[in-house]
C-alpha cells in the first residue's frame, strides 16, 4: 500500500530555523519541496540565501578529531557559539604543533620524490661526482622499453663510440646510463632517440653512488617519520584534557552544518509591520508523523505549521512511499524497476507478489529444486538482505507446491505420486490451461485499470479505454464464448455476440471524442481532418484486436516452460542411465544444478516479462516520484 501523506507549511522567524530543525524536524522523515517553486510569483519572497557560519569551525573540528584516541559519542551538550569557541581555542593551542607536522610532511614528500628518482639507478656502482669531472665523454641517464633494449644491444655491440651500462630492469623497462665521446654526441644521441630512449635527469646534488645515497635517504626518511609520530603524540596530549568538550562541539557543529542544507529548500519573507524576516518550508510527511509533529509544536509560539491534504489543487505532486508487510518488501524491487506508483494509484506489490511467484511455480514445478530455491533464497535474504533472494525464496514455495502436483522430485517422476497431473502426459491440456489462466489475468488487469481510473478521476479511461469497461465487456465476452466452446456448451446467439463484441470495439475506436465529451474538454474531435481521424481509429482498432489475441497467446509460455522443465530433466535422467537401474549420480547432481540454474534464470525473466508487458501495461503507469527523506537527499 501507499503511505498517506500531508503537505506541511512550516514558518517562523528566520533566525530560529536551526533550533526548529534540531529540536523538531530532525526526528522525522520529511521530503522537502523547493518553497520558491510555489511562491515565486510573490514579490516579497526570495530564496533563503545565507553563508554557513559554522563550516570553518566544523572543518577545524574534523582536524582535531584525528588526535582523539577513541572518537565517540558524548552526553555533553553545547550551543553553536560555545562549540565554535571550543574548537577555535583548541585549534589555536595546536597551531604550532600542526605547523611543525606540515613542515615534516612536506620534507617527507620531497624525500620520497627524490628517492623515486634515484631508485632505478642504484645498480650503478660509481660515484656521480666523478662522472661530472669527465671532460671528453658525455653521459645520459634514462630508460628504454625491453623490446627496444634488445635491438639497442646489437647496435652498441657493433659501435665503438658508445657504451650502455644497465642499472636496473623490470618486465617493461630497462634503466641505465650511456656514455659517448663528446665529438660523436649528436650522432649517438639521435640513434638512442630512434630507439625511444627516455632521458631522466638525476638530482644535481648527488655526490655518492646511487645506492649509498638511497640508503642515506632511507635512514633520513625513518627519522622524519619518527618525528611526525612524536608530533602526533604531542598533539594527542594537548587535546586529551578537552576530549569531551571537543567531541560535543564537533557533534553540535556537524548537526548545524547538516541542518544548514535545509535552507536551499526554504524561502524567506519579511513581515512589514514587524520588520522581522520569516522562513517558509514546504515538506511532505507521513500522516501519522505529521500529527505527532503538530502535538509537539502546539505550545511553541515561534513556529507555525499548517497541514494540507493532497489534492488536485496542489502544485506539488505528492511523493510515493510504499508501506507493505515484511514478506512483500522484496517484491517492491520489481515495482521500482518499472516505476513507482503515483500517489493516487494502486500499489501493485501484492499483485506482482502473487502472480509472479505463482507463475514461477507453474513453470518450475519440482519439490527438490524448489526446496533448494526456498532455503537458499531465505538464507541469502537474511544474511545479505538481497531482495532478489527473498523473491526467489517465496517463488520456491510455489515450486515445491507444483512439484507435488506434478509428482516431480529432482527430476524423478516416480518417487512421489502426482496429486494433479504430469505435464508431459497432458501436453495440450497444459498449454490450454496456461492460455486460459492468461486470459483471467488480463481480465483482472482490466479491472485494476478501472480502479486506478476511478482514483485518478479519468472517466474516459474508465469507460472507453481498451483496458476499461468497454475492453472488459468485449474481451470478457469473447473469453466466455471460447470457454463455452472448449467445454462443449452452446454459444450465445450470433446477434448477441455481435452486439457484445462490436459495440465495445466501436466505443474503443471513438474513445478520444467520447472522453472529451464526458470530461468536457472543449472540441469533441481533435484538430485536423476527421477522415484521417477515422482512418487512424480503424488502424488502432485492428491493433487492439490483435493485441488481445497476442497478449493472451503469450501466456502459452507458462505451460511451455512447465513442459520444458520436465523434458530437460527427462534428458538428464536418460544421460544418467536411470532406465538401466543403476544411474550415474554425478550426472544427476550436475544435471539438476545446471537445469535449476539455467532454467530458473530464464523462467524468472520470462515471468517478469509477462508481468510488465501483458499486465502492468494495461493498468499501471508507474509515474510516481519517490519519497526521499532529507537525510537521504544529503547522502545523494
| Structure-derived torsion over alpha carbons of residues 322, 326, 329, 331, reported in degrees to the nearest 10 | -120
Domain 5-48+266-308 has CATH 3.30.70.260: yes
Provide the angle, in degrees to the nearest 10, between the axes of the packed helices 95-118 and 80-93: 60
Residue 48 CA to residue 57 CA, distance in Å, equals 22
Q: What is the pLDDT of residues 193-225, one digit of tens each?
A: 999 999 888 777 777 888 888 888 888 889 989
Please, where are the H alpha helices in 35-163?
A: 35-39, 55-65, 80-93, 95-118, 128-131, 146-158
Q: What is the pLDDT of residues 30-40, one digit of tens each?
A: 999 988 888 87
User: Taking 70 as the threshold, does the pLDDT of residue 7 lie above it?
Assistant: yes
pLDDT of residue 284: 94
Q: What is the pLDDT of residues 482-517, one digit of tens each?
A: 988 888 888 887 888 888 888 988 888 888 788 778
Burial class (CB in 10 A: 0-12, 13-18, 19+), 428: exposed
Residue 120 CA to residue 143 CA, distance in Å, equals 9
Residue 394 CA to residue 375 CA, distance in Å, equals 10
pLDDT of residue 495: 86
- Which residues contact residue 636 at a Cβ distance below 8 angstroms, ignoring those fewer than 6 apart? 628
| Least trusted range by pLDDT, from 55-64, 136-145, 511-520 | 511-520
Residue 173 CA to residue 148 CA, distance in Å, equals 9
pLDDT of residue 312: 55
Confidence band of 400 (pLDDT split at 50, 70, 90): very high
pLDDT of residue 636: 43
pLDDT of residue 354: 96
User: Taking 90 as the threshold, does the pLDDT of residue 555 lie above it?
Assistant: yes
User: Taking 70 as the threshold, does the pLDDT of residue 578 lie above it?
Assistant: yes
Residue 39 CA to residue 46 CA, distance in Å, equals 9
Residue 412 CA to residue 570 CA, distance in Å, equals 8
Confidence band of 180 (pLDDT split at 50, 70, 90): very high
Rg, Å, the chain Cα set: 39
pLDDT of residue 23: 87
Q: What is the pLDDT of residues 70-128, one digit of tens each?
A: 556 677 778 878 888 888 888 888 888 888 888 999 989 988 888 888 888 888 888 88
pLDDT of residue 87: 86
Across the chain, what does the average pLDDT equal? 87
CB 33 within 8 A of CB 282: yes
Task: Tell me the domain boundaries of the chain.
Answer: 5-48+266-308, 126-208, 324-420+593-624, 425-553
Q: What is the pLDDT of residues 309-351, one digit of tens each?
A: 887 556 678 999 999 999 999 999 999 999 999 998 999 999 9
Q: What is the pLDDT of residues 233-290, one digit of tens each?
A: 888 887 777 888 888 888 888 888 877 888 889 998 876 556 688 899 999 999 999 9
For residue 163, what are the CA distances in angstroms to 420, 525, 572?
Answer: 90, 93, 71
User: Taking 50 as the threshold, does the pLDDT of residue 635 lie above it?
Assistant: no
Could you say which DSSP state residue 408 is in?
-
pLDDT of residue 6: 92
| Cross-strand partners of 11 | 280, 304
pLDDT of residue 272: 57
Residue 619 CA to residue 625 CA, distance in Å, equals 18
User: Taking 70 as the threshold, does the pLDDT of residue 524 lie above it?
Assistant: no
Most confident range (mean pLDDT) of 114-118, 174-178, 354-358 is 354-358
With a pLDDT cut of 70, the percent of the chain lying above it is 95
Tell me if domain 5-48+266-308 and domain 126-208 are identical in fold.
yes
How many other CB atoms are found less than 10 A from the CB of residue 531?
Answer: 8
| Least trusted range by pLDDT, from 285-299, 410-424, 531-545, 557-571 | 531-545
| Cross-strand partners of 139 | 179
Domain 126-208 has CATH 3.40.50.620: no
pTM over 0.85, yes/no: no
Amino acid at each position: 500500500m501507499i503511505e498517506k501523506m500531508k503537505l506541511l507549511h512550516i514558518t517562523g522567524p528566520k533566525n530560529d530555523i536551526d533550533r526548529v530543525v534540531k529540536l523538531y524536524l530532525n526526528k522525522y522523515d520529511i521530503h522537502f519541496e523547493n518553497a520558491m517553486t510555489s511562491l515565486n510569483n510573490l514579490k516579497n519572497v526570495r530564496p533563503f540565501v545565507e553563508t554557513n557560519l559554522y563550516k570553518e569551525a566544523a572543518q577545524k573540528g574534523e582536524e582535531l578529531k584525528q588526535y582523539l584516541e577513541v572518537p565517540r559519542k558524548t552526553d555533553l551538550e553545547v550551543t553553536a557559539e560555545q562549540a565554535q569557541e571550543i574548537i577555535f581555542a583548541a585549534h589555536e593551542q595546536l597551531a604550532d604543533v600542526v605547523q611543525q607536522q606540515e613542515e615534516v610532511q612536506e620534507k617527507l614528500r620531497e624525500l620520497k620524490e627524490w628517492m623515486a628518482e634515484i631508485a632505478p639507478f642504484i645498480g650503478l656502482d660509481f660515484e656521480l661526482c666523478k662522472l661530472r669531472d669527465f671532460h671528453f665523454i658525455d653521459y645520459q641517464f634514462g630508460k628504454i622499453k625491453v623490446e627496444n633494449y634488445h635491438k639497442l644491444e646489437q647496435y652498441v655491440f657493433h659501435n665503438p663510440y658508445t657504451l650502455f651500462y644497465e642499472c636496473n630492469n623490470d618486465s617493461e623497462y630497462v634503466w641505465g646510463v650511456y656514455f659517448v665521446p663528446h665529438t660523436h654526441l649528436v650522432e649517438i644521441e639521435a640513434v638512442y632517440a630512434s630507439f625511444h630512449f627516455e632521458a631522466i635527469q638525476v638530482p644535481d646534488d648527488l655526490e655518492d653512488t646511487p645506492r649509498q645515497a638511497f640508503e642515506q635517504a632511507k635512514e633520513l626518511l625513518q627519522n622524519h617519520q619518527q618525528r611526525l609520530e612524536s608530533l602526533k603524540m604531542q598533539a594527542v596530549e594537548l587535546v586529551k584534557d578537552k576530549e569531551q568538550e571537543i567531541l560535543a562541539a564537533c557533534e553540535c557543529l556537524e548537526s548545524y552544518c547538516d541542518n544548514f542544507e535545509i535552507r536551499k529548500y526554504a524561502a524567506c519573507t519579511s513581515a512589514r509591520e514587524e520588520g522581522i524576516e520569516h522562513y517558509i518550508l514546504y515538506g511532505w510527511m507521513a500522516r501519522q508523523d505529521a500529527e505527532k509533529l503538530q502535538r509537539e509544536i502546539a505550545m511553541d509560539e515561534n513556529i507555525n505549521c499548517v497541514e494540507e491534504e493532497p489534492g488536485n489543487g496542489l502544485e506539488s505532486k505528492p511523493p510515493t512511499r510504499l508501506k507493505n508487510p515484511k514478506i512483500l518488501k522484496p517484491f517492491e524491487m520489481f515495482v521500482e524497476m518499472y516505476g513507482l506508483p503515483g500517489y493516487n494509484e494502486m500499489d501493485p506489490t501484492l499483485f506482482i507478489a502473487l502472480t509472479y511467484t505463482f507463475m514461477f511455480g507453474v513453470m518450475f514445478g519440482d519439490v527438490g529444486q524448489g526446496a533448494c530455491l526456498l532455503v537458499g533464497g531465505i538464507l541469502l535474504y537474511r544474511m545479505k538482505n538481497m531482495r532478489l533472494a527473498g523473491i526467489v525464496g517465496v517463488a520456491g514455495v510455489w515450486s515445491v507446491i507444483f512439484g507435488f502436483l506434478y509428482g516431480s522430485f529432482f527430476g524423478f517422476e516416480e518417487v512421489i505420486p502426482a496429486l494433479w497431473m504430469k505435464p508431459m502426459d497432458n501436453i495440450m491440456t497444459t498449454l490450454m490451461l496456461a492460455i486460459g489462466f492468461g486470459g483471467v489475468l488480463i481480465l483482472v488487469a482490466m479491472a485494476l485499470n478501472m480502479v486506478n481510473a476511478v482514483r485518478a478521476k479519468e472517466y474516459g479511461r474508465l469507460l472507453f479505454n481498451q483496458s476499461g469497461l468497454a475492453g472488459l465487456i468485449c474481451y470478457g465476452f469473447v473469453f466466455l464464448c471460447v470457454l463455452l466452446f472448449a467445454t462443449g456448451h452452446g454459444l450465445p446467439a450470433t446477434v448477441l455476440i455481435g452486439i457484445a463484441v462490436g459495440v465495445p470495439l466501436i466505443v474503443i475506436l471513438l474513445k478520444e471524442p467520447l472522453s472529451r465529451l464526458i470530461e468536457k474538454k472543449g472540441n469533441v474531435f481533435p484538430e485536423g481532418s476527421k477522415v484521417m481521424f477515422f482512418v487512424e481509429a480503424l488502424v488502432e482498432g485492428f491493433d487492439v484486436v490483435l493485441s488481445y489475441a497476442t497478449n493472451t497467446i503469450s501466456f502459452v509460455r507458462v505451460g511451455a516452460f512447465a513442459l520444458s522443465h520436465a523434458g530437460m530433466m527427462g534428458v538428464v535422467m536418460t544421460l544418467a542411465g536411470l532406465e538401466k537401474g543403476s544411474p550415474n549420480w554425478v550426472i544427476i547432481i550436475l544435471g539438476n544444478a545446471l537445469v535449476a540454474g539455467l532454467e530458473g534464470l530464464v523462467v524468472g525473466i520470462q515471468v517478469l516479462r509477462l508481468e510488465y508487458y501483458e499486465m502492468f501495461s494495461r493498468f499501471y503507469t508507474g509515474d510516481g516520484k519517490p519519497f526521499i527523506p532529507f537525510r537521504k537527499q544529503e547522502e545523494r
